[in-house]
Amino acid sequence: MSLTVEACSSCSKDMDFEENNVASKKNENLASAVDGEGKKEEEKEKLGRCLSELSLDDEEEEEGQADNLLDLGPQVTLKDQLEKDKDDESLRRWKEQLLGSVDLNSVGDKLEPDVNILSLSIISPGRADIFLPMPVVPNSKGVWFTLKEGSSYKLKFTFSVSNNIVSGLRYINTVWKTGVRVDRTKEMLGTFSPQLEPYTYETPEETTPVGLFARGSYSARTKFIDDDEKCYLEINYTFDIRRDWPSVVAPQQDASA
């Protein structure tokens, strides 16, 4: 009888132990599931923050860079630079080598250079250049230009420089789609001295994206700034990427001709 009681007691203990194990595993699984949901929510929040940060205005980044600019002391007009130490032959040759062929007619008494963006165009192999009107004149749909998906293209700028040397002129282009920043390009054009003839610059060749999600409307902002963060042109516009190039309407002929 005592053996039976001991056996039953042992069985009861085993059953209690198994039930405790099952309950413990359930609690662990529940805790793991909760942790998993928590991690998913945390990842979603992180992704949302990343997209928000990408969508923020890039002026903050540029302003932060402007705060770190070196103070090079008082500026001097280019005319004063050319007149200074003109009797020193070695310095004169060094300045000519540094400044290049500066046109004295385009040199003023102003300290700051004057840069004027004269034209912008898009060059794509096998097609006529797309000349973009300045200032921006979008069509009736608000679109400045349309590109074909998967097509190669380059940008071409012409600009004039007068009064003084412009240092570190660069082109910055930021593109958004549905409010999210999808591209940011910084292209250093260089340092240019004043001259009467305009300068021409072509960017490296790029390719437009391909696919259903790539097609559609984009908003963009283009800026031309120098090392002093002086902005010479800022353009806000909209462009499209489509399955094919837009059709070109031939000019109508005069019926009386």
List per-residue pLDDT tens for the chain, 257 residues long: 443 334 444 445 554 545 555 555 555 555 555 455 555 555 545 544 444 444 445 555 554 554 454 444 445 665 566 666 566 666 666 656 656 556 555 555 667 889 999 999 999 999 999 999 887 777 667 899 999 999 999 999 999 998 888 999 999 999 999 999 999 999 999 999 888 899 999 999 999 999 999 999 999 999 999 999 999 999 999 999 999 998 865 444 444 43
Q: Distance of alpha carbon 176 from its chain centroid, rounded?
A: 9
CA angle 57, 61, 64 (to 5 degrees): 135
Q: Which residue has the tokens 């031939």?
A: 250
What is the H or E stretch that residue 22 is in?
Answer: helix 2-55
* 3-state secondary structure (DSSP) of residue 171: strand
DSSP letter for each residue of 74-110: S---HHHHHHTTTT-HHHHHHHHHHH-S--GGGB-S-
Compute the half-sphere exposure of residue 239: CA atoms within 13 Å on the CB side of its CA: 23
Q: pTM of the full predicted structure?
A: 0.62
Q: In terms of C-beta density within 10 A (0-12 exposed, 13-18 middle, 19 or more buried), how is residue 241 classed? A: buried
The domain covering 70-242 belongs, at the CATH homologous superfamily level, to Coagulation Factor XIII, subunit A, domain 1 (2.70.50.30)
Instruction: Parse the chain into domains and list their residue ranges.
Output: 1-55, 70-242
Task: Give the bridge partners for 212, in sequence order.
Answer: none
